[in-house]
Amino acid sequence: MNVRLPSVRHPHSFYDVFSVVAVAVAIMALVLAIWYGSIIRTEMVVFMAIVFLWAAWAIERILSESEERAKRQRRRPPWDK
């Protein structure tokens, strides 16, 4: 079995996005369980905003790559397959 680690720079699938967001939520929960204060809360809000902006970018990238791949396959004649 070939297991690939999630990619942050070049996400290829939903599992990359899901695993990065899940790890970020776990880190946030751990930090908030250990430290408690308004500054920490503000930092965690900024951290999660960055993570969710990254997730939106990653999903957009994955969808655009799949669209380009579909366009290339449509242009290829059926006898080339």
pLDDT at 70: 83
pLDDT tens per residue, range 44-81: 999 999 999 999 999 999 999 988 888 887 776 666 65
Q: Is the pTM of this model over 0.85?
A: no
Q: Do residues 28 and 41 lie in contact, with contact meaning Cβ atoms separated by under 8 Å?
A: no
pLDDT for 64 equals 92
Q: What is the structure's pLDDT at 8?
A: 78
Instruction: Report, as an integer, the average pLDDT of 8-22.
Output: 89
For the chain, the structural domain boundaries read 14-75
DSSP labels, the chain: -------SSS--SHHHHHHHHHHHHHHHHHHHHH--SHHHHHHHHHHHHHHHHHHHHHHHHHHHHHHHHHHHHHHS-GGG-
Q: Is the pLDDT of residue 36 over 70?
A: yes
